[in-house]
Amino acid sequence: MTDSSSTDTEAEKSSKELLSVDTICRYLDDAAQDALETKDYLSYLTVIDIHLATDPDRFSVEERIHLVEKLLSVLQGNDELLYEIGWDIPALLFQYHGLEWNDVQIELKQSKGRMAMFHIFELLAKKGNAKELLLKCCELLPRCVDSSPANNDIVFKLRFHSLFELMVASQRRIVSNYPSRFLAMMLPPVINLLSNKLESPIFVLRRVYTLLRDYHPCLKPDVSEDTTAEKLRELSILHSQENYLQRKLLTTFLTHSIELQSNTLKALVAPAIFQKLEKSVHSQKLSLRLNSEFHRENLILLGRFVTLSQSYDINLEDEIRKQINETEKLFSQLDHNQELDTLNDRIFSLVIENFNSTGLHDKELKELPLSSIGCIILYTFNVMIENPSTKSHSILDFEKVIKLSLRFLLPSMLNPNLTSYSLDDALYAWAWVTVSKEDNLSQIPEIFITTYLQLLITKSTINFNDYLSSVEAKDRNIILYTLISRVLSLVHESTSWNFLRDSLTTCPFSNARSVLLSILKDLCLRNRSISVTTLNDKLEGIDLNGKPSIPARDIPYITLSQARGNDIVALATVAADTTLAGKEVKEDEVILLLSYINFITALKSKIEPQSINKFIELVNNKLKNIDSEDNNGHLIKLAVERVTQ
């Protein structure tokens, strides 16, 4: 019996393979007529499944075009059949969109096969069973990201556009007094899709934008003439409740769409602000990225979403104030009498608890919240790029920016997958806007300063290759390390020194330590400028009857005392031991060692000669064991020779 079944199956398979496309087309016509006469529509779907859906790769491109056009012809001539079987057609066309059509380089309207599929989708949108089609589209939409590797982006766009437009059209044709239920059915699959890294984020977000802008509720059922006044009042209340629910769903969807694609939407607010405030060679190089076509498209789209948020009565400024107040309340739980390490741990625990109990992370969520991240991104873009307003900048000062940054960015410091590029960008922009107005940050608690700087250093080391190019990462690091340097120049000298020394001792990132060492060198060499506040304090303290004081010498931002100099040489010694441990120079450590040697060269007049000589002797002895052909060894030797010149 098994052998017989196997033989039958093989015969069926062989028979199916021998069927010509003309024969299959005749089957489609005949089966359609039978289905209409017998009302057995499932049998017709079986015919489609056997002859069209099973292994469609066996057909040539011309054969597939012929088959799809025949299916279109059958559906055009049979509205009843279309209504009954239409729910299963999107899955078939979804499959066919992923096939090779040899038409990638021609205009879409010239592609017979794809145009036939679009016409079928159009028929379904007009005459199909709206509820069943809505369900099918919701099922298929998240699968768009699993498109075929070849021409992946084109296939994705064709699939997404077809399904999305059919879903929206079907929702509008449904007759119901409960439109929020169908809207709530539509949005999760779109959110699911937006949660992925998209090759064409602007393409998708434009469709999201049109859905939000042109949203129409389901059709309302007709009200009969004999409906009572009480029933009419109940309907009126119901419609008001439904309108509220729909608006709530749409505003939540709007702000979360921005958050979910915040790694691909790049307004580059921080580079724009940095370029404006910092007239340096580095800042001017950013202008090329700020004028790219992709960047302009991002700006246009974000501007439309800002306008859309206003049309939905989302007060972005109020939302930001709300986040500021919640952040202040969160960190008011700190006991500043505790040790810095204890406070640091407490900040992390508060932030993690807050992350797990707010927004969509809240397991006891009772209402749909707006995305705080989406609101921050849109508000920042609006007041800094779209409609620049210095008045709006007063909503934040630098201390508030630090606290917001700790609350929203620390989770991504622990888990880089939580990184939101546009949120980072927005908060860096606010940091630059607010710190540029400060001439002294000593009033901010040290724990906030040091934890914030640790955050910035960690952020500078996250490569995030899926979303951030090497050029963009370099631009980000210029902005961050210049900000770190600015902050360190405005806090108390002991705070700057302690932070830099501790970072050079414990920071696990070698490249970051090299940059921090350069910042330390700069702060040791540059002198403080007297601010207006400092000058006023000095004038108020003058004793007119006393002897004139001796003019003060220039004071650097950080004074390199003998003890501090010895600390640096000790750290340099550790770097030398690590870098020159074998017969070859460790490639990933050489820059740090060269940075230490450069530091000692620049500040050797302030460091004990004995410490320097001991360090040079150590390095020279270790270099003797290094392969003479090692280029890095030559670089270190030249750097050491400069110290003694």
Q: pLDDT tens for residues 32-43?
A: 999 999 999 999
The one-letter amino acid code at 88 reads: D
**pLDDT above 50 for 404:** yes
pLDDT of residue 105: 57
101-105, 182-186, 346-350: segment of lowest average pLDDT = 101-105
Q: Which residues of 217-242 are buried (b: 16+ CB within 10 A; e: fewer)?
A: bbeeeeeeeeeeeeeeeeeeeeeeeb
**What distance lies between CA 510 and its chain's CA centroid?**
26
Rounded to two decimals, what is the model's pTM? 0.89
**pLDDT above 80 for 553:** no
221-225, 532-536, 604-608, 638-642: segment of lowest average pLDDT = 532-536
Percent of the chain with pLDDT over 70: 88
Domain range enclosing 107: 8-220+230-260
State the number of CA atoms in the 13 A half-sphere of 576 facing the CB: 23
State the number of CA atoms in the 13 A half-sphere of 412 facing the CB: 25
Structure tokens belonging to residue 637? 């030797």
| Overall average pLDDT of the 165-185 stretch | 97
Q: How long, in residues, is the chain? A: 645
Is 175 strand, coil or helix? strand
pLDDT of residue 400: 98
| Overall average pLDDT of the 124-150 stretch | 88
Structure tokens belonging to residue 442? 């000593």
Q: Which DSSP string corresponds to 546-559?
A: SPPPPPPPP-BSS-
**pLDDT above 80 for 150:** no
pLDDT of residue 17: 55
Nearest to 405 by CA among 435, 365, 363: 435
Contact predicate 154/205, CB 8 Å: no
Owner of token pair 């000669």: 609
| Overall average pLDDT of the 95-113 stretch | 73
**pLDDT above 90 for 172:** yes
Confidence band for 108, pLDDT divided at 50, 70 and 90 = low
pLDDT of residue 9: 46
| Overall average pLDDT of the 529-535 stretch | 51
Contact predicate 419/462, CB 8 Å: yes
Contact residues for 207 (Cβ-Cβ < 8 A; gap 6+):
160, 161, 164
Confidence band for 218, pLDDT divided at 50, 70 and 90 = very high
Contact residues for 13 (Cβ-Cβ < 8 A; gap 6+):
none
pLDDT of residue 331: 97
The one-letter amino acid code at 155 reads: V
Structure tokens belonging to residue 535? 């000058």
Owner of token pair 């030559």: 634
**pLDDT above 90 for 197:** no
| Overall average pLDDT of the 436-442 stretch | 93
Confidence band for 16, pLDDT divided at 50, 70 and 90 = very low
**pLDDT above 60 for 426:** yes
**pLDDT above 80 for 12:** no
Distance of alpha carbon 28 from alpha carbon 305, whole angstroms:
47
Nearest to 626 by CA among 614, 618, 616, 634: 634
**pLDDT above 80 for 194:** yes
pLDDT of residue 535: 43
**pLDDT above 60 for 3:** no
| Overall average pLDDT of the 286-293 stretch | 66
Confidence band for 56, pLDDT divided at 50, 70 and 90 = confident
The vertex-354 CA angle with 353 and 356, nearest 5°, equals 65
The vertex-287 CA angle with 286 and 292, nearest 5°, equals 110
Q: Is residue 210 part of a domain?
A: yes
| Overall average pLDDT of the 267-276 stretch | 90
Confidence band for 111, pLDDT divided at 50, 70 and 90 = confident
Q: Is residue 538 part of a domain?
A: no
Confidence band for 629, pLDDT divided at 50, 70 and 90 = confident
Confidence band for 301, pLDDT divided at 50, 70 and 90 = very high
pLDDT of residue 6: 43
- Count of domains for the chain: 1
Contact predicate 588/596, CB 8 Å: no
Choose between 222 and 290: higher pLDDT: 222
Mean pLDDT (the chain) is 88
Q: Is residue 359 part of a domain?
A: no
Nearest to 265 by CA among 377, 189, 157: 377
**pLDDT above 80 for 149:** no
**pLDDT above 50 for 238:** yes
Nearest to 62 by CA among 28, 97, 19, 111: 111
**pLDDT above 60 for 486:** yes
Percent of the chain with pLDDT over 90: 68
State the number of CA atoms in the 13 A half-sphere of 187 facing the CB: 23
Distance of alpha carbon 368 from alpha carbon 354, whole angstroms:
17
Q: Is residue 50 part of a domain?
A: yes
pLDDT of residue 7: 37
DSSP class of residue 53 equals: I
Q: Is residue 59 part of a domain?
A: yes
Choose between 630 and 9: higher pLDDT: 630
For residue 175, what are the β-bridge partners? Answer: 219
> Where are the alpha helices (H) located in 195-228, listed in sequence order?
201-213
Q: Is residue 319 part of a domain?
A: no
Contact residues for 31 (Cβ-Cβ < 8 A; gap 6+):
43, 44, 47
Q: Is residue 299 part of a domain?
A: no
**pLDDT above 80 for 619:** yes
pLDDT of residue 280: 59
Distance of alpha carbon 420 from alpha carbon 262, whole angstroms:
6
**pLDDT above 60 for 278:** yes
**pLDDT above 50 for 593:** yes
Distance of alpha carbon 117 from alpha carbon 104, whole angstroms:
15
Confidence band for 57, pLDDT divided at 50, 70 and 90 = confident
pLDDT of residue 223: 86
pLDDT of residue 14: 43
